[in-house]
Amino acid sequence: MMPNILKTRVCSNDAASSASRSWPAVISMHQVKFGGSMLSSRTGVIENRRSKLERMQTIALVTNEQHAATLYISLPEAFIEKKKTLVKLSSKQQGTDQKRAARQRKVLMAGNWKMNPASIKEAREMAALLASSLRTIAQDKPGFDVEVVVIPPSPFLHIVADVLSGTVAKIGAQDVHPESKGAFTGEVSTGMLMSMGVSYVLAGHSERRNLFNESDAVVNKKVKAVLASGLSPILCIGESKEEYESGLVKDVCSKQLREGLVGVSAEDLQEKLVIAYEPVWAIGTGLTATPAIAQSVHSYIRSVIKEMYSPEVANAVRIQYGGSVTPESVDELMTCPDIDGCLVGGASLVAEKFSRIFSYQAPPPGSPEKLYASEVVPCGCTLGESVVWSEAMQSLFWVDSVGQALWSWRPSEGTGTSKPIRWKLPEVVGCVALQESGDLLLGLQSGIFNFDLTAGVARKLTDFERPLDTRPNDGRVDRFGSFVVGSYNNAHRQDGAEIGGLWRLNPDGNMQEILDYKFRCSNCVCFSPDGLTMYFTDTPTRRIFAFDYNPAGKLSNRRLVYELPSSISGGPDGAQTDAQGHLWVCLSGASRVVRLEPLTGAVEAVVELPVTSPTCCTFGGPDLDTLYITTRGPDGGGLYCVKMPPGIRGIAEPMFAWSAVQHGSSCAAPEGKIGPARWSRASDNQGESWMSASSRISQGMDEVKLPRRVTSTNGLLSISSDYQTKPAWLTSGNSSQASRFCADCGHAHTTLTAKFCTECGAPRITLYGQ
């Protein structure tokens, strides 16, 4: 039986060990195991696994004759140091500009007048207004350092150049012929443009590609001709609406880039050529890609340049965004670290609007820092959820809830080369959690399961809220080694009934209800670094609460941390705390994750995503300094990530620590709400494999066994024979065959490039662990 906790103390590791030496009145009793720490109460010596000492707080529970206890929490020195100097996040527009400048990328704002205005008189007037505005800016803002380019139609080049002379504005041309002279009626050459004072020339604008059938090969010829003449090309790329809706953005951009840049030197790319990403569906339509969508494509473009040239070239090349840019949208677009300016159409025809665009403004001081997440695993989950990072396996695990799958991926293997692994599950799944044994816990529709990764076998440990029509939803292991999991009323969208409970599966196998009210949809389950505060939300209420967390008792002292403002759609979903104890909460439906100050609920940072619904997040990577985010369909489904600003990192995910076998304690569920609560009792109806599982766990207790690594020579982990849903091709281990069939309906794909199954419409998954 767990003693009551009388007091807690936070001390450094050294202080904890000296405290342990002087602890008085420690009586002899069984070893107590919490969160991976063993306390022999006889000697007062704490044994810890090294990784725990380095990564997270360790717990020592000291009991006296009266069965009272003191809970000692020792924290690594580095963490205590960080607590003293909390990293402050603030408005970072200046920061974004500084980063661009550090990479020597000067902002370039270009106004493409297209076939406007109607007469030379109007062109002169437009240019004169712009010139006046530029002179005012030069006076008012001496440090103004934006490159402004005006791109009028050819007949007006001369007059516009003339009116703008003496200002900082440069002149651009909308098109050019690749040949330098000859019988090309109606065309203009680079030499003619140069003689009129032109500096930039557009190549591959979508209107030329679509209305004048310009191919990538023609665009490439123009790019090379412009460079050869000493002018700077602006190479325009971007996908159509249909391509965007079919998920082909990357494919289209990559093709247009690669073919447009054939024969272009690294030097020209670094010093002259500019890329403009213009989603065709956003040009002249009033639809703007959200900053997060634009940023994710810009960051992808940079990754392609890195692959084609080098990291230096990728860092140096300027990438503009274009497509319905307005004075209203420019400020936010310019907070994106990979957007180096805008190519503006309609709004550049009005001098006042264009001026506001090229003198874009930083967010007001004190605004939350903006970060942008990009996709790392295009796993196409219907409802990605519950991402956890295993330090021991250096792997992420997450689930596709209604897609009934468990996913894993090792980022250290490098984006693009590592192969995520997917296990098909037999039921809807709410969450996954780590165990010290190396197995996982899975919250499936019908109960909490033990999942043996190596054998691929899932076995039920306990039912969940039977006979209610609920299932486990968000769950995490607390910092004491117990698994806390909340419920989801499967019918809550219809009946709105608050019938779900919040439960804790204790290391001794007992299941205990820890919240004294019911709700519809549990989320946000996560813990403060010291483990003594728990965060929780019933998503439909849009409110996040903090509670005092007693590892042996119920939640108490509820207080409101954050309520989603009515201006923001969606609801709070999964969350995780960082090492400073601040909360990172996914706002599903609002395309963002927010960092909250845990006492005031102040929003300190916003991670924007290019998809509508982030669902859960956690810190991962070898340094725990990357935030990984699961998302859901229909526009999302992939795993996203964002590198944290310096000083922000997570804490290692605690692991569930079975102790039931060793203690052989009572299996009665204390509150009698569900049962059977202990897996050994559940084994009665599950067959003999329960016995082998239990003996293995029992041995693990004695040796503090290290979790097994997920390895396999061909990277393929077998799938549960209990749940024979293994597609035939999975057994082959042949990667070329592996991508041929739809993972959802088994349909044989007819082409190798299809992104979606033509039979059932599911996103095509080519990522099984070959």
Which residues are the active-site residues?
573
Looking at this protein, which amino acid is placed at residue 588?
A: S
* Residue placing its CB nearer to ligand PGA in the complex, 184 or 212: 212
Choices 224-232, 320-328, 423-431, 536-544 (CB under 6 A): range interacting with ligand PGA? 320-328
- Positions 276 through 295 that interact with ligand PGA (CB under 6 A): 278, 283-284
The runs of H, that is alpha helices, within 705-755 are 735-738
- Positions 221 through 280 that interact with ligand PGA (CB under 6 A): 278
Looking at this protein, which amino acid is placed at residue 69?
A: A
One residue of 13, 20, 93, 112 binding ligand PGA per CB under 6 A: 112
Asked if residue 471 belongs to a known ligand binding site, the reply is yes
- Determine contact, residues 638/380, Cβ cutoff 8 Å: yes
Choices 247-255, 342-350, 475-483, 525-533 (CB under 6 A): range interacting with ligand PGA? 342-350
Asked if residue 48 belongs to a known ligand binding site, the reply is no
* Residue placing its CB nearer to ligand PGA in the complex, 345 or 589: 345
Cβ within 8 Å of residue 26, ≥6 positions away: 41, 42, 43, 44, 62, 63, 64
Kindly state the smallest distance separating residue 164's Cβ from ligand PGA, in Å: 19
Q: How many CB atoms lie within 10 A of CB 162?
A: 14
Q: Measured on CA atoms in the order 294, 299, 305, 311, is the torsion positive or negative? A: positive
Query: Is there binding between residue 325 and ligand PGA (CB under 6 A)?
Result: yes
Choices 190-198, 240-248, 339-347, 726-734 (CB under 6 A): range interacting with ligand PGA? 339-347
Question: DSSP character for 347?
Answer: G
* Residue placing its CB nearer to ligand PGA in the complex, 342 or 511: 342
Asked if residue 459 belongs to a known ligand binding site, the reply is no
Q: What is the 3-state secondary structure (H, E, C) of 122-158?
A: HHHHHHHHHHHHHHHHHHHCCCCCCEEEEECCHHHHH
* Residue placing its CB nearer to ligand PGA in the complex, 324 or 386: 324
- Determine contact, residues 198/272, Cβ cutoff 8 Å: no
Query: Is there binding between residue 328 and ligand PGA (CB under 6 A)?
Result: no
* Residue placing its CB nearer to ligand PGA in the complex, 345 or 769: 345
Query: Is there binding between residue 322 and ligand PGA (CB under 6 A)?
Result: yes
- Determine contact, residues 640/375, Cβ cutoff 8 Å: yes
One residue of 344, 383, 555, 661 binding ligand PGA per CB under 6 A: 344
Kindly state the smallest distance separating residue 160's Cβ from ligand PGA, in Å: 17
Choices 129-137, 337-345, 482-490, 760-768 (CB under 6 A): range interacting with ligand PGA? 337-345
Asked if residue 578 belongs to a known ligand binding site, the reply is no
Kindly state the smallest distance separating residue 350's Cβ from ligand PGA, in Å: 11
Burial class (CB in 10 A: 0-12, 13-18, 19+), 487: buried
Kindly state the smallest distance separating residue 323's Cβ from ligand PGA, in Å: 5
- Taking only Cα atoms into account, the Rg of the chain, rounded to an integer number of angstroms, comes to 30
Kindly state the smallest distance separating residue 126's Cβ from ligand PGA, in Å: 15
281: left (phi over 0), alpha (psi -120 to 50) or beta: alpha
Find the helix or strand (DSSP H, E) in which 308 lies. helix 291-308
Query: Is there binding between residue 198 and ligand PGA (CB under 6 A)?
Result: no
- Determine contact, residues 689/720, Cβ cutoff 8 Å: no
* Residue placing its CB nearer to ligand PGA in the complex, 207 or 604: 207
CA distance linking residue 209 with residue 203, whole number of Å:
9
Q: What is the 3-state secondary structure (H, E, C) of 625-665?
A: CEEEEEEECCCCCCEEEEECCCCCCCCCCCCECCCHHHHCC
- Determine contact, residues 305/296, Cβ cutoff 8 Å: no
Distances (CA, A) of 697 to 103, 148, 547, 752: 53, 68, 32, 45
CA distance linking residue 582 with residue 326, whole number of Å:
35
* Residue placing its CB nearer to ligand PGA in the complex, 115 or 728: 115
Choices 95-103, 322-330, 521-529, 590-598 (CB under 6 A): range interacting with ligand PGA? 322-330
Query: Is there binding between residue 343 and ligand PGA (CB under 6 A)?
Result: yes
* HSE, side-chain direction, 13 A CA sphere, residue 568: 21
Kindly state the smallest distance separating residue 237's Cβ from ligand PGA, in Å: 12
Tell me the residue number closest to ligand PGA, measured at CB.
Answer: 345
Query: Is there binding between residue 576 and ligand PGA (CB under 6 A)?
Result: no
Query: Is there binding between residue 172 and ligand PGA (CB under 6 A)?
Result: no
Number of residues near ligand PGA (by CB under 6 A): 13
One residue of 346, 384, 475, 614 binding ligand PGA per CB under 6 A: 346
Kindly state the smallest distance separating residue 264's Cβ from ligand PGA, in Å: 21
Asked if residue 523 belongs to a known ligand binding site, the reply is yes
CA distance linking residue 249 with residue 214, whole number of Å:
19
* Residue placing its CB nearer to ligand PGA in the complex, 67 or 241: 241
Choices 343-351, 377-385, 474-482, 519-527 (CB under 6 A): range interacting with ligand PGA? 343-351
CA distance linking residue 709 with residue 336, whole number of Å:
38
CA distance linking residue 304 with residue 760, whole number of Å:
31
Query: Is there binding between residue 203 and ligand PGA (CB under 6 A)?
Result: no
Kindly state the smallest distance separating residue 145's Cβ from ligand PGA, in Å: 23
Query: Is there binding between residue 345 and ligand PGA (CB under 6 A)?
Result: yes
Kindly state the smallest distance separating residue 234's Cβ from ligand PGA, in Å: 9
Choices 319-327, 436-444, 505-513, 647-655 (CB under 6 A): range interacting with ligand PGA? 319-327
* Residue placing its CB nearer to ligand PGA in the complex, 160 or 234: 234
Collapsed DSSP state (helix, strand, coil) of residue 200: strand
* Residue placing its CB nearer to ligand PGA in the complex, 244 or 389: 244
- Determine contact, residues 93/334, Cβ cutoff 8 Å: yes
Collapsed DSSP state (helix, strand, coil) of residue 502: strand
- Determine contact, residues 30/42, Cβ cutoff 8 Å: no
483: which strand partners?
A: 477, 505
Kindly state the smallest distance separating residue 355's Cβ from ligand PGA, in Å: 15
Question: Which residues does the annotation place in the binding site?
Answer: 385, 471, 473, 523, 573
Residues that bind ligand PGA (CB under 6 A): 112, 278, 283-284, 322-325, 343-347
Residues placed in the known binding site for substrate: 471, 473
Positions at the binding site for a divalent metal cation = 385, 523, 573
